[in-house]
């Protein structure tokens, strides 16, 4: 297979902030409850920006840091469950906004695991020689689907976008993937689709809100992350101790703590920024990667595992080596 690596990162966070104290004026909650149960202190929410606006800004940065010109990009994969429209897709909107004239564009729905699935998809397409330079983007405005009267969910989510540029080169920087799905357990995290409304049948328009059994998702998440980390190393020759950083989906600090504890891994190796952004779904991992990159935390040769879980249910991990 052709060696492929991440060569650029980018992110976009909307300016508008909602703190835990702000939320306590909307629902019966408190900073103390949200901080201790989740680790989240504040989240950024869209105030006019669309998912594709955020994706475009993150992608532009990823291209700039990689030194790739828009006309060189031949594949765009956007992970999102909150597109601006059903069509055109977010990836096609990014193409238009950035002038990615020769790119093939597709959106991928895999809940909060979307970035992991998208990186795997883009990587396989590049490694087989079908394409040479790709943008992989996670972009979400989940707060447009949030029920602001439901304290069980409205405290958890935030908006944003993250992106990576990947391309062929001399060193292999994308070493392995593992992904999984279990549709039989999907009812624990639901966002309704559009109701049938045609001459043959009319049903009631459902509320397009996030409906979640938090406790069930919590248990699933700890197990899925633990298993995904172990499985993505299988057959690679790398051991857990050789991983410099784990970049987990940023849903809840307690989930991440428990994964580290159960795997007997140092908590400091798990990067978290959820206190600032909450759960930004498919955007959380690429936002974290970009933040780490900007802080100079990612050094050439480092081994990283991105790991996550989400609605569907879905889960997965990518094993990466930093090459730039």
Ligand X SMILES: CC(C)(COP(=O)(O)OP(=O)(O)OC[C@H]1O[C@@H](n2cnc3c(N)ncnc32)[C@H](O)[C@@H]1OP(=O)(O)O)[C@@H](O)C(=O)NCCC(=O)NCCS
Largest CA distance in the chain: 61
279 is a catalytic site residue: yes
CB of 223 to ligand X, least distance (A): 12
Q: Which of 105, 177, 249, 293 is catalytic?
A: 249
CB-based contact 81:311 (threshold 8 Å):
yes
Q: Which is nearer to ligand X, 17 or 212 (CB)?
A: 212
249 is a catalytic site residue: yes
Distance between CA atoms of 115 and 109, rounded to whole angstroms? Answer: 9
Q: Which stretch binds ligand X (CB under 6 A): 75-83, 192-200, 211-219, 269-277?
A: 211-219
Q: Does 147 bind ligand X (CB under 6 A)?
A: no
Strands 189-191 and 17-19: unpaired
Q: Which is nearer to ligand X, 92 or 256 (CB)?
A: 256
Q: Does 219 bind ligand X (CB under 6 A)?
A: no
Q: Does 180 bind ligand X (CB under 6 A)?
A: no
Cite the beta strand spans of the chain per DSSP E: 4-12, 17-19, 42-44, 75-79, 104-108, 133-141, 159-168, 174-181, 189-191, 197-198, 201-202, 210-212, 245-248, 303-310, 314-321
List the interface residues with ligand X, window 253-312 (CB under 6 A). 279, 310
177 is a catalytic site residue: no
Q: Which two tokens stand for residue 189?
A: 């995290």
* Cis? peptide before 71, omega within 30° of 0: no
Q: Which is nearer to ligand X, 37 or 97 (CB)?
A: 37
Q: Which of 48, 193, 199, 215: binder of ligand X (CB under 6 A)?
A: 215
Q: Which of 122, 175, 217, 259: binder of ligand X (CB under 6 A)?
A: 217
List the interface residues with ligand X, window 2-61 (CB under 6 A). 29, 33-34, 37-38
Residues 6+ apart with CB under 8 A from 178: 228, 231, 232, 234, 316, 317
Distance between CA atoms of 301 and 17, rounded to whole angstroms? Answer: 36
Q: Which of 17, 169, 218, 265: binder of ligand X (CB under 6 A)?
A: 218
DSSP state of 176: E
List the interface residues with ligand X, window 61-120 (CB under 6 A). 112
CB of 117 to ligand X, least distance (A): 13
Q: Which two tokens stand for residue 205?
A: 């328009």
- Which candidate, 70, 126, 125, 129, places its Cα nearest to that of 102? 70
Q: Does 214 bind ligand X (CB under 6 A)?
A: yes
Q: Does 221 bind ligand X (CB under 6 A)?
A: yes
Binding site for ligand X (CB under 6 A): 29, 33-34, 37-38, 112, 151-152, 155, 189, 212, 214-215, 217-218, 221, 251-252, 279, 310
Enzyme catalytic residues: 112, 249, 279
């Amino acid at each position: 297979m052709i060696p492929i690596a991440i060569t650029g990162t980018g992110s976009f966070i909307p300016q508008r902030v909602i703190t835990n104290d702000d939320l306590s004026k909307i629902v019966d909650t408190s900073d103390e409850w949200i901080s201790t149960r989740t680790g989240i202190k504040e989240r950024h929410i869209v105030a006019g920006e669309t998912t594709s606006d955020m994706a475009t800004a993150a992608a532009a940065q990823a291209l700039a840091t990689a030194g790739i010109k828009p006309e060189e990009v031949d594949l765009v994969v956007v992970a999102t469950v909150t597109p601006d429209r059903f069509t055109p897709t977010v990836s096609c909107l990014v193409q238009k906004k950035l002038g990615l004239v020769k790119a093939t564009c597709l959106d991928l729905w895999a809940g909060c695991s979307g970035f992991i699935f998208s990186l795997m998809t883009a990587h396989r397409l590049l490694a087989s020689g079908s394409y040479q330079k790709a943008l992989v983007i996670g972009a979400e405005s989940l707060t447009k689907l949030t029920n602001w009267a439901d304290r069980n969910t409205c405290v958890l989510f935030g908006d944003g976008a993250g992106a990576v540029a990947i391309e062929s080169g001399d060193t292999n920087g994308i070493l392995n993937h593992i992904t999984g799905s279990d549709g039989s357990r999907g009812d624990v995290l639901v966002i309704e689709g559009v109701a049938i409304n045609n001459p043959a049948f009319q049903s009631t328009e459902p509320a397009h809100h996030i409906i979640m059994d938090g406790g069930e998702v919590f248990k699933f998440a700890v197990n899925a992350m633990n298993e995904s980390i172990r499985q993505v190393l299988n057959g690679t020759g790398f051991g857990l101790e050789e991983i410099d950083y784990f970049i987990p989906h940023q849903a809840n600090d307690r989930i991440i703590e428990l994964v580290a504890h159960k795997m007997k891994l140092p908590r400091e190796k798990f990067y978290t920024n959820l206190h600032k952004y909450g759960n930004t779904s498919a955007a959380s991992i690429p936002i974290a990667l970009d933040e780490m990159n900007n802080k100079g935390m990612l050094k050439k040769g480092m081994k990283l595992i991105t790991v996550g879980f989400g609605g569907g249910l879905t889960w997965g991990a990518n094993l990466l080596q930093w090459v730039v």
